[in-house]
Amino acid sequence: MAFYCQKCGYRSPKWLGKCPSCGSWDALVEEPEKKRLSKTKEKVQVFKLSEIPKERVFRFVSGISEFDRVLGGGLVPASLILIGGDPGIGKSTLLLQAAQAYLRQGLTVVYLSGEESPAQIRLRAERLGLTEDLYLVAETDLSAALSAVRAFRPQILIVDSIQTVYLPEISSAPGSVSQVREAASALLRYAKEEGVAVFIVGHVTKEGVLAGPRVLEHLVDAVLYFEGERTGPYRILRAIKNRFGALDEIGVFEMTEQGLKPVENPSSFFLSEGTGAIFPSMEGTRPLLVEIQALVVKSHLAAPRRTAVGFDPYRLSMLLAILEKTTGISFFDRDVFLNVAGGLKIKEPAGDLAVCAALLASRLDKRLPNKSVFIGEVGLSGEVRPVMFLESRFKEAQRLGFKRAFCPPLESRSFETSGMQIVSVSFVTEFLGCLS
C-alpha cells in the first residue's frame, strides 16, 4: 500500500497532510500498488540506427482541415492521443464528427463511452446531421471493453473518457491516480500491439490542467487542448505535445447548430475594425494576424493598475519600464490595460514591438499607421532585436492586404518582400515619428 496525491500523482509511503510536489492539502489517498510480473524473453536484440529499415509514415486523413493540421497532417496508426478541455467545450462533439469523417474514408471506428448511453450518442449524432453508421460500446470496465473491441479489429478507437473507465484488478475507484495511470498504460499497449490509433478524452481540473497523474501526458504520443469560451462561437484546438507534428499548432473551429466547422481563414477572425497594433504571431507553423489593443488612462489610485489579457503581465511591466526609460514618456501615473483580441495568447517575444506601438499610440492619443504590421523583440535598452520566421509573417500580412511592416533591420533580403514596404526600426524611440 502507498499514498498517492489525487492532483499530481505523487507517491508517498506514508500519509502527508500536504503534497510535497504540487502543494495540495489533504489530497493523498491510500491505494494498493499493482504488482507487475516480468516476462522472460528468449533474447533481446540490439540494433544500430543505420540497420533499421526506413518506413514511410502513413496517416489517416479525416478531411477536417483544422483537425488534420493539429495532428501534423493526419492521424498516425498505433498512436495514442489525449484530448483535454473544459466541460461542455465540445470535445465529444469534435471526436464524433472526426469519427464520421474517418468512416467516410472506409475506416472502422469504435466509440467507447463511459459517460453516455448509446441512445444519447445517437441523439447527438442526429442533431449534428451525422449519418455514418458507427460502432458503439457503452462500458466502463476497460478489460471487458477491449475484449469486445478486438473482435471488430478497428483502425481507430475513441475512449470517452479516461476518468470513467477502470480496470477490475485495481481496487481503487475510477478516476483515481492508479486507475487513470493503469488504464492509460493498457490503452497504450493495445494501440502499439494492435496498430490501432486511440483517442482519449481527459477531464481538466478547475486550474485548467488535465486531471490525473502527470505520467498520463508522458505516456501518450500527442496532447491536444480544446480551448475557448463556452458562451462564444469559436474554439481553438492546440497541440502542446506531438511526436508526429509541430508543437503549438492550432486549429480554429466555429461552434454552430450543426457542430464544429473549421475556420479556413483564422487571421480574419482575430482581426477587427479596431485601431490596435497588428502582429503576425506564429502558432506552430502557421502565421496568424492578431490585434493588440491598449488603453492608457490617468490613474486615481495610489498603485496604478496593470492588466493584461492574452499577454504576460510581467513582460508588460518590463516594456512599460523600457518605454519610460528610453522615451521619457511617463506611465507611472497611468492605468494600463492590454488586450489581445479574439482570445488568443501571445507567448513569443516577437510581439514586443506591437505592444509598445499600441501603448505609445494610446498614451499620446495618436493613430498608428494604416495597413501596417509590427514585428520585433524589444531589449532592455530599447533596441529592437531580430526574430524568426519573418518571411512567413510577411507573406500572411501581404495576403490580407497589409502594405507596411515595422521590423528590426534585415541582415539579408533574400526572401520575397515585393509589395511590402519594410520600415527598419533599431530602437523603439525611432517609432515615435511614425505616429500621426
72 part of a folded domain: yes
Same domain, 296 and 214: no
Give the domain-ending residue among 264, 286, 313.
264
Annotated binding residue at 88? yes
Same domain, 140 and 251: yes
Same domain, 224 and 95: yes
Q: In 167-249, at which residue ranges do the beta strands (DSSP E only) sit?
A: 197-202, 222-227, 234-242
Same domain, 272 and 244: no
358 part of a folded domain: yes
Which three cell numbers mark 166?
A: 477502470
**Domain membership of residue 185 as a residue range:** 63-264
230 part of a folded domain: yes
How many distinct structural domains can be found in the chain? 3
Give the domain-ending residue among 233, 264, 295.
264
Same domain, 71 and 27: no
Which three cell numbers mark 116?
A: 453516455
Same domain, 185 and 126: yes
Annotated binding residue at 245? no
Provide the CATH number for the domain around residue 413: 3.30.230.10
Same domain, 222 and 83: yes
Annotated binding residue at 232? no
86 part of a folded domain: yes
Place of cell 505609445: 360
Annotated binding residue at 92? yes
44 part of a folded domain: no
Same domain, 183 and 329: no
Same domain, 376 and 400: yes
58 part of a folded domain: no
Among residues 334, 343, 252, which one has the least CA distance to residue 298? 334
325 part of a folded domain: yes
Same domain, 199 and 280: no
3-state helix, strand, coil in the chain (%, to 5): 30, 25, 45
Give the domain-ending residue among 206, 233, 264.
264
Annotated binding residue at 90? yes
Same domain, 220 and 361: no
Annotated binding residue at 91? yes
Same domain, 95 and 190: yes
Per-residue pLDDT of the chain (436 residues; tens, 9 = 90+): 788 887 777 888 889 999 888 888 888 887 766 555 555 556 788 888 888 887 777 899 998 999 999 998 899 999 999 998 888 888 999 999 999 999 999 999 999 998 888 899 999 888 888 878 889 999 999 999 999 999 889 999 999 989 899 998 887 788 888 888 889 999 999 999 999 999 999 887 766 667 666 778 888 999 999 887 766 778 889 898 999 888 878 888 988 888 899 988 888 777 766 678 999 998 878 888 999 999 999 999 989 999 999 999 999 999 999 999 999 999 999 999 999 987 788 989 999 999 999 999 999 999 998 889 999 999 999 999 999 888 889 988 988 889 899 999 886 555 555 578 888 999 999 888 888 6
311 part of a folded domain: yes
Is the separation of the CB atoms in 54 and 25 below 8 Å? no
Annotated binding residue at 86? yes
Give the Å distances, CA to CA, from 432 to 78, 85, 329: 56, 43, 11
**Phi, psi (5° rounding) for residue 126?**
-70, -40
Is the separation of the CB atoms in 23 and 8 below 8 Å? no
Place of cell 491536444: 224
